[in-house]
Amino acid sequence: RKEVEQDPGPFNVPEGATVAFNCTYSNSASQSFFWYRQDCRKEPKLLMSVYSSGNEDGRFTAQLNRASQYISLLIRDSKLSDSATYLCVVIPSGGSYIPTFGRGTSLIVHP
Amino acid sequence: GAGVSQSPSNKVTEKGKDVELRCDPISGHTALYWYRQRLGQGLEFLIYFQGNSAPDKSGLPSDRFSAERTGESVSTLTIQRTQQEDSAVYLCASSPGRRTFGSGTRLTVV
């Protein structure tokens, strides 16, 4: 099993739709979780951290389910500008702070 | 500078040549990471520097790859005897705080 797994998609949704992505991780001791966004031929940029209690930033909601070892990202009222690849990032505990990236989920928002 | 700076932004090299990629982290950032991203693939960890500690080289794919960092400043990633499979975007990130990536070096080995 890969350390961090994501459905590559693409998820093809109309503007205004709500879309959700999941990401599973294999290391139960993982301590920190993030979602990054990567536009085509650009570097990844931090979208949001994921907290145990769940957190929201505008149209974006991130949640963590430690029991099932997955995190999720929900995007409400999708905009054309949300089209990108969304990368799940997991940082293990135990001294190594090396972020492991998922391969990303591609989102295409169409008019 | 305000962000992570990488150079060159693009590099085309002949198979068998050596290349050196440079990363200037955000000032004061003690941690520096190198990743590789092949076309259509995810980010592959290469090497991690934390302050003056010994680097974590566990992600380097072969002994053709090496990296150096002096203190908490510039890092260079060197690829010797480049192969076509080395073609990728090489990304550098620094932290603490939010891990900020540079815009990468797009390496093409022909």
The shortest CB-CB distance from A43 to any of B45, B98, B101 is to: B101
Alpha carbon of B28: minimum distance to chain A alpha carbons (Å): 18
Q: Is the pLDDT of residue B108 over 90?
A: yes
Provide the strand spans (E) within chain B: 5-7, 10-13, 19-24, 31-37, 43-50, 65-69, 75-79, 88-95, 100-101, 105-109
Q: Is the pLDDT of residue B20 over 70?
A: yes
Q: What is the pLDDT of residues B48-88, one digit of tens each?
A: 999 888 999 999 999 999 999 988 889 999 999 999 999 99
Q: Is the pLDDT of residue A98 over 90?
A: no
Q: Are strands A11-14 and A105-110 parallel, antiparallel or unpaired?
A: parallel
* Residue A9 in contact with partner chain B when CB distance is under 8 A: no
Rg (CA), chain A: 14
Is there a contact between B20 and B74 (Cβ–Cβ < 8 Å)? no
Model pLDDT, residue A28: 85
Q: Let me know if A32 is exposed, middle or buried by CB neighbors in 10 A (0-12, 13-18, 19+).
A: middle
Model pLDDT, residue A95: 64
Buried b (16+ CB within 10 A) or exposed e, A91-109: bbeeeebbbbbbbbbbbeb
Model pLDDT, residue B99: 80
Residue in chain A lying closest to B90 (CA): A43
Q: Is the pLDDT of residue A3 over 90?
A: no
Contact A101 B35 (CB under 8 A): yes
Q: Is the pLDDT of residue B97 over 90?
A: no
Contact A99 B100 (CB under 8 A): no
Q: Identify the three-state secondary structure at position B37.
A: strand
Comparing CA positions, the residue from A19, A94, A46 lying closest to residue B4 is A46
| Cα gap B83→B13, rounded to integer Å | 10
Q: What is the pLDDT of residues A17-63, one digit of tens each?
A: 999 999 999 988 888 999 999 999 899 999 999 988 899 999 999 99
- Which residue of B43, B46, B101 to mutate against A (max A Cβ within 10 Å)? B43
